[in-house]
Amino acid sequence: MYWNAFIIALREIRRNLTRAFLTVIGIVIGVAAVITMVTLGRGATETVKAQISGLGSNLLVLRPGQGWRAAAGTPQFSILDGKLILEQIPGIRAVAPVSETNVPTSYLEQSRTTKVTGSSPDYFTIGNWKLDDGRFFDEKEQTEGSAVCVIGQTVRKELFHGKNPVGEKIRVQNTSMVVIGLLSSKGQTGFGQDQDDNIVVPITTLQRRLTGKTSKQSINQIMISGEDGYASTRIVDDVALLMRERRGIRGNEQDNFNIIDTRQIADAVSSSTKVMTSLLGAVAGVSLLVGGIGIMNIMLVSVTERTREIGIRLAIGARAYEVLLQFLIEAVTLSCVGGLVGVGLAYVLCENLAKIVGAPFLFDPKINLIAVIFSAAIGILFGFMPARRAAKLDPIDALRHE
């Protein structure tokens, strides 16, 4: 019985292919839109999380002032601050003082302004930096303030045009420095900063040879890496307490520093992205309902057109539920075909759009299955009323219908 109803439904769909095609367009667009929005949203979430985690392992950043920019006159940090944080606060794996400046750099005839970061060897460990070639500078070079540097891929591209820079000398401001290492590419952060456009030197080299700032309070920020499994909130509280003591902040006075927890930022951004993805998916899902209304409309037209046929079937012994089943199967078939075509369209869209936006292509089978099941449910929901109307036709009145 079910198979016969399915065959009849397919025959009726084939009889009016153009109408069937126009009917399922709404379902196709709805399913494709929902899957595309959810898939791209998941890819964007993973991209942001990877970019933020790429900044460092369990990374905390201690900065002067409140927010990203310190007000004029806000005291900086000292190398001793970093040492005391490492020695006195539990749960910390490594600490790296950081000072940054933008200076002119050149190699042969190529020149540009580049960010130069002065730090300790732990900077590379905390930031999860890898080498494509060469080596990092060591503690001895850090102590002596040696004229050595490690450069990023963007610097290599702009100054060396793809040539291996290790062993070459570049001019950084007025100082000639030997390139001892080439960093692996990290790309942009979640905040649009190019991590590869950077020259890293020992912090003593930066202070003595480039900026001339050899005072104790000359550190722009301190990078802190927590141990795995240790609560970052406890480290933040302990560091804040130590810094208030070190900077002479009393009672209810506001902190003149802030501590950024990249893990919390990653979680917040991830949650926001998931909410936006859900909202976009819900908006796209509205088109599925529109497609369902289209199916209901075309099925009502079909019932009207086939009233005499229905009357003949009922007159020769067909039962009402068999007529209902036939029209219901026809509606579900249309919606399922639309759902499957929508999945195929979504696959193509996601694959190409992921390349354009630079997000990973994470095609989830569960989302596809849910979308197809939902499209079938739409067919049942919006196809039931026309099917019920067909099943309730009076055979006598149906046979008289012209």
Q: pLDDT per residue over 132-169, tens digit each?
A: 999 999 999 998 889 999 999 999 999 988 788 999 99
Cβ atoms of 102 and 114 within 8 Å: the answer is yes
* Cα separations in angstroms, 266 against 51, 149, 191, 279, 384: 9, 31, 12, 20, 46
The one-character DSSP state at 215 is S
What pLDDT is attached to residue 203? 92
Residue range 81-106, pLDDT digits in tens: 889 988 888 888 889 999 988 999 99
The one-character DSSP state at 227 is P
Both 94 and 239 in one domain: the answer is yes
What pLDDT is attached to residue 335? 81
What pLDDT is attached to residue 199? 93
Q: What is the mean pLDDT of residues 327-350?
A: 82
Residue 55 pLDDT greater than 70, yes or no? no
What pLDDT is attached to residue 258? 86
Cβ atoms of 300 and 386 within 8 Å: the answer is yes
Any domain includes 314: yes
Residue 70 pLDDT greater than 60, yes or no? no
Q: How many CB atoms lie within 10 A of CB 12?
A: 17
Both 202 and 324 in one domain: the answer is no
Amino acid letter, residue 68? W
Q: What is the mean pLDDT of residues 316-345?
A: 77
What pLDDT is attached to residue 341? 86
Q: Which of 189-198, 232-241, 262-271 has the lowest mean pLDDT?
A: 262-271
Both 347 and 391 in one domain: the answer is yes
Q: What is the mean pLDDT of residues 191-207?
A: 85
Q: What is the mean pLDDT of residues 48-66?
A: 71
Both 246 and 274 in one domain: the answer is no
Any domain includes 210: yes
Any domain includes 278: yes
What pLDDT is attached to residue 76? 85
Any domain includes 65: no
Any domain includes 260: no
| Calpha distance 205→211 (Å, rounded) | 9
Both 160 and 183 in one domain: the answer is yes
* Cα separations in angstroms, 371 against 44, 347, 351, 374: 20, 13, 18, 5
Both 89 and 225 in one domain: the answer is yes
| Calpha distance 63→200 (Å, rounded) | 19
What pLDDT is attached to residue 48? 67
The range of the structural domain enclosing residue 286 comes to 2-51+267-400
**Of the residues 255, 280, 306, the one at which a domain ends:** 255
Residue 57 pLDDT greater than 60, yes or no? no
Both 205 and 283 in one domain: the answer is no
Both 300 and 223 in one domain: the answer is no
- For residue 67, what pLDDT band results from cuts at 50, 70 and 90? low
What pLDDT is attached to residue 136? 94
Q: What is the mean pLDDT of residues 343-352?
A: 85
**Of the residues 227, 255, 283, the one at which a domain ends:** 255
The residue ranking higher by pLDDT, 13 or 111, is: 111
State the chain's mean pLDDT as an integer: 79
Q: Could you list the beta-strand ranges (E) of 184-320.
A: 199-202, 221-226, 257-261
Both 117 and 249 in one domain: the answer is yes
Any domain includes 69: no
Strands 110-119 and 199-202: parallel
**Of the residues 233, 255, 277, the one at which a domain ends:** 255
Residue range 263-315, pLDDT digits in tens: 766 666 666 666 776 776 676 667 777 777 777 777 777 766 666 666 666 66
Both 135 and 239 in one domain: the answer is yes
Closest C-alpha to 61, from 250, 235, 269, 246: 235
Both 86 and 186 in one domain: the answer is yes
Any domain includes 378: yes
Both 248 and 273 in one domain: the answer is no
* φ and ψ of 316, to 5 deg: -95, 10
Closest C-alpha to 194, from 46, 54, 45: 54
Residue range 357-398, pLDDT digits in tens: 667 777 777 777 877 787 778 777 777 777 777 666 666 655
Most confident of 116-125, 294-303, 349-358: 116-125
- Name the domain count of the chain: 2
What pLDDT is attached to residue 200? 94
- Tell me what percent of the residues of the chain surpass a pLDDT of 90: 16
Any domain includes 63: no
The residue ranking higher by pLDDT, 399 or 45, is: 45
| Calpha distance 176→190 (Å, rounded) | 33
* φ and ψ of 90, to 5 deg: -75, 160
Most confident of 198-207, 249-258, 291-300: 198-207
